[in-house]
Structure 1
Amino acid sequence: MALAKKFKLYLWTALVFYLIFCFGESFAYPDTFFKRNINGLFLLVFVLLLNYLLFETALPLFKSNGRSIVSGAILVIVLIFLYTIGLYEWRQLWIKLNLYTDYTPGLTYWNGVEIHSRYSLASIIFFGVAVHLYNYTQLKNAAKQLRLENQEAELNYLKSQTNPHFLFNTLNNIYSLARDKSNLAPESILRLSKILRFMLYETNGEFIPVDKEIKIIEDYIALETLRYDNSLKIEFAHNAEDYSRPIPPLLLIPLVENAFKHGVSETRNKPFISIELSIQQQQLSFTVKNSVGDAPERGYVKENIGLSNLRRQLMLLYSDYHLSATLENSEFVVNLKINFASHVKNKLHHHRR
């Protein structure tokens, strides 16, 4: 497949080279334009094959081992002979077969070789530029493809970290209920099974509808609140112009999980969590506020693995986003804004196609 694609490049390059040749001949020899272009076809076939051998066989040998370099040098010498004397003899062959019109019958042999060598040199330069541009484009596309694959691998790695981390914290909470022999342990296991089912069957793709992301957040909140009494105040408000809008699965969960694990679980008095989700005109705004325990110092925020992974995922997924975390007056606030239109992978996949 690659060989056929490369040879097609040489055919197209030969066609363009021939059209340029015809254009020049039409101005220089308008009276014999047609027959001279027929002559040009015979010369074109010869230099097409020579240039293919030069750029695809001879020159690549110089990048190999010593024995290949010697072979490449010998082949280049042979090609130089064919580009000069060989091309002129090729012309003479078709003249003898009465298929090539000779417009310079009085031309000496070496003058003929010199004139046709210029044609060969022009073809080498033209084909060389075309092959270089093609190889450069292919190399650039390969680098872009490799970058996409590396980003996908890193994104999958980040997800593989986030999901077990999320489950580990949830299982710890269930363990606490089971250790205390709480009657809520069976219900918590049932709710966890729903979350696991979602993670197994709904998060394999690149996107899920935003209403499913909201549902998993609600299930997670319901699971976590089993460990708290009525003193915990939770608010979750959401407003989207289109609840079927696609969003990467479990993208928002780390922020909600963070509010429980590092927020209300360490708050003694009046714990609360406030969550607001808004999606309007491809702009997502997600804000999570929660109470905290003893704040280390005003404005100081130490990111945990959930926030760090989320920040890196956002960097890989979107070119236009904002994630901030602030701590003031015993209140931790995380604000996430995403422009869905800036999804990076959509652009990369478009280039891939």
Structure 2
Amino acid sequence: MSAKNRQIVLHILACVSFMSLPVIFMSRTEKTFFEMFNPLGIRVFVLYFLLLVYFYVNYFVLIPFLFFKRQYFSFAGIQIFIFLLIIILPNAFLHDLPRGKESFIGPLPPPSEKMLHGNGFPPPPTEGGDILTQEAFFFLLMLSFSLMLRISNRWKQTEKEKLNAELSYLKAQINPHFLFNTLNSIYALAIEKSDKTPEAVVKLSGMMRYVLSESSNEYVSLEKEISYIRSYIDLQSIRFEDTINLSFSISGTTFGKKIAPLILIPFIENAFKHGINAEEDSVIKIDISIVENMLKLYVFNNKVSIHLSEESKSGVGILNTSNRLQLLYAGAYELVINDEEKYYEAHLTIHL
């Protein structure tokens, strides 16, 4: 069931439950067919129906178009008018309702001693003050509940929009970062006039297609994300060939699982960026394991002597990824980074 349909069902159940309150509060004696539908009983059911209408008018019209637009005086004036219309005026004419042996549906037996002393619901007309207090309470309850529910929904929507804006900003920073580094790899192949340049261009094309078509989604197929990582590692392997000691392994099944796009690649890219020097021992280990709904990523690289720009040294990719993890997997991930003098390793666990 979709979230929208679930919400509709909850509203229907809440309305039915509210309209059942008069019957629930009646005494057993008053729950006979005739007593439930005497004029005063009918008035109670009509009042409850009007309170429901008032709730939804408040929720869908008055709060969004008056309260949220800070037209507080207009909002308060309409609330007072509705209160007079459905609470005060009907109670002013309460003594005119018949309480004898005739009703809208036929003769009624005389009221019992128990009913006359207010042990049932609704109370007899002699207790008009109690009726007014009770109905005013329900009116204020509807007003308060509609305000709280609407404000809560608006707050959630605002938080969702803020989250989407932050994610869009982070992705906008990440995607050019990938493109820049990948083009550098192909540029190096072209300088060397390598026969592997066409293959590298094809892999880059597939990677960019993935970034353009999938990175805007909140979650993507884990199979596609792993395929993207394979392409990236293959591209780096083409460029560096035997100059690195590369270990890459994947275990577990990816079928039917989803993950946030481009959430793993920054750790792998960071290893290639900081762990490769043709004149030094360059070691990179990458291990991805999936067990049920848990994914574990382990990335290791030894640190080598390389020249990096100030922007590259800042580690913007890892920082942005940490922010995305907090936004998308708060409480459902664990990231441990060991940044030592001679090596760097990252342990990431995500509950998918």
Q: TM-score, normalised by structure 1?
A: 0.71
1:317 to partner: Cα distance: 2.2
In 1, Cα distance between equivalents of 2:339 and 2:71: 61
- Asked if 1 retains the 8 angstrom alpha-carbon contact of 2:34 and 2:105, the reply is no
8 Å CA contact 1:158–1:313 kept in 2: the answer is yes
- Please say if residues 245 and 283 of structure 2, whose CA atoms lie closer than 8 Å, have aligned partners that are also in contact: yes
Partner of 1:196 in structure 2? 208
Q: Give the counterpart of 2:21 among 17, 22, 45.
A: 17
| Alignment match, 2:292 | 281
> 2:304 maps to what in 1?
293
Q: Which residue of 2 aligns with 1:161?
A: 173
1:97 to 1:206, Cα distance in 2 relative to 1, 3 A: closer
Pick from 255, 259, 267 the counterpart of residue 247 of structure 1: 259
Confirm or deny: 8 A CA contact 1:237 1:275 kept in the other structure.
Answer: yes
Structure 1 residues 121-174: Cα deviation after superposition (integer angstroms, max 9, x where no partner): 323323533553454345434433443343244333322322221112212332
Identify if the C-alpha distance between structure 1 residues 123 and 194 changes in structure 2 by more than 3 Å, giving closer, same or farther: same
Residue 228 of structure 2 corresponds to: 216
The one-letter code matched in structure 2 to 1:126 is: F
**CA offset digits 1:87-117 (Å, max 9, x no partner):** 223448996978685958xx9xxxx865234
Count of aligned residue pairs for this structure pair: 319
State the match for 2:119 in structure 1.
none
1:257 CA displacement? 0.9
- 1:132 corresponds to: 144
Q: How far does residue 276 in structure 1 lie from its aligned partner after superposition?
A: 1.1
| Cα distance in structure 2, aligned partners of 1:75 and 1:288 | 65
Judge conservation of contact 1:275–1:286 (CA < 8 Å) in 2. Answer: yes
SS at match of 1:147: helix
Q: Does 1:82 align with 2:86?
A: no
Structure 1 vs Structure 2 CA RMSD: 4.1
Q: Which amino acid aligns with 2:346?
A: V
Q: Helix, strand or coil for the counterpart of 2:297?
A: strand
Distance between the aligned counterparts of 1:147 and 1:12, measured in 2?
32
The 1:6–1:126 alpha-carbon spacing in structure 2 relative to 1, beyond 3 Å, is farther
Quick one: distance in 2 between partners of 1:217 and 1:237? 11
State the match for 2:249 in structure 1: 237
The CA distance in 2 between the partners of 1:197 and 1:119, in whole Å, is: 68
**Matches of 1:46 and 1:207, distance apart in 2:** 48
Query: Quick one: distance in 2 between partners of 1:206 and 1:74?
Result: 46
1:208, 1:247 within 8 Å by CA — same for their partners in 2? yes
Most deviating of 322-331 and 232-241:
322-331
SS in 1 for 2:304: coil
Q: Is the 8 A contact 1:47 1:120 kept in 2?
A: no
The residue that corresponds to 1:41 in the other structure is 41
Change (3 A) 1:144 1:187: same
User: Bigger CA drift: 281-290 or 140-149?
Assistant: 140-149
Contact between 1:13 and 1:130, CA under 8 Å: does it hold in 2? no
Q: CA deviation at 1:241?
A: 4.4
User: 1:314 Cα shift?
Assistant: 1.3
The answer to whether the Cα contact below 8 Å between 1:314 and 1:321 also exists between their aligned partners in 2 is yes
Q: Quickly say closer, same or farther: Cα 1:15–1:77, change in 2 above 3 A.
A: closer
Sequence identity of aligned pairs in percent?
A: 29
Query: Quick one: structure 1 residues 86 and 100, their matched pair in 2 at CA, closer, same or farther if it must change by over 3 Å?
Result: farther
Name the residue aligned to 1:347: none
CA distance in 2, matches of 1:255, 1:284: 14
1:22 Cα deviation (Å)? 2.1
* CA deviation string 1:158-212 (max 9, x = no partner): 2232222111221233234445655544343222112223334455544444343
Taking the aligned partners of 2:49 and 2:170, their CA distance within structure 1 comes to 51
Aligned mates of 1:247, 1:6 — CA distance in 2: 30
Q: Which residue of 2 aligns with 1:346?
A: none
What is the rounded CA distance, in whole Å, between the counterparts of 2:302 and 2:34 in structure 1?
90
The two structures have a TM-score, normalised by structure 2, of: 0.71
Task: Give 1:215 deviation, angstroms.
Answer: 2.6
Change (3 A) 1:47 1:281: closer
**C-alpha separation between the residues in 2 aligned to 1:136 and 1:254?**
42
Give unmatched runs, 5+ long, in structure 2: 1-7, 117-123, 307-312
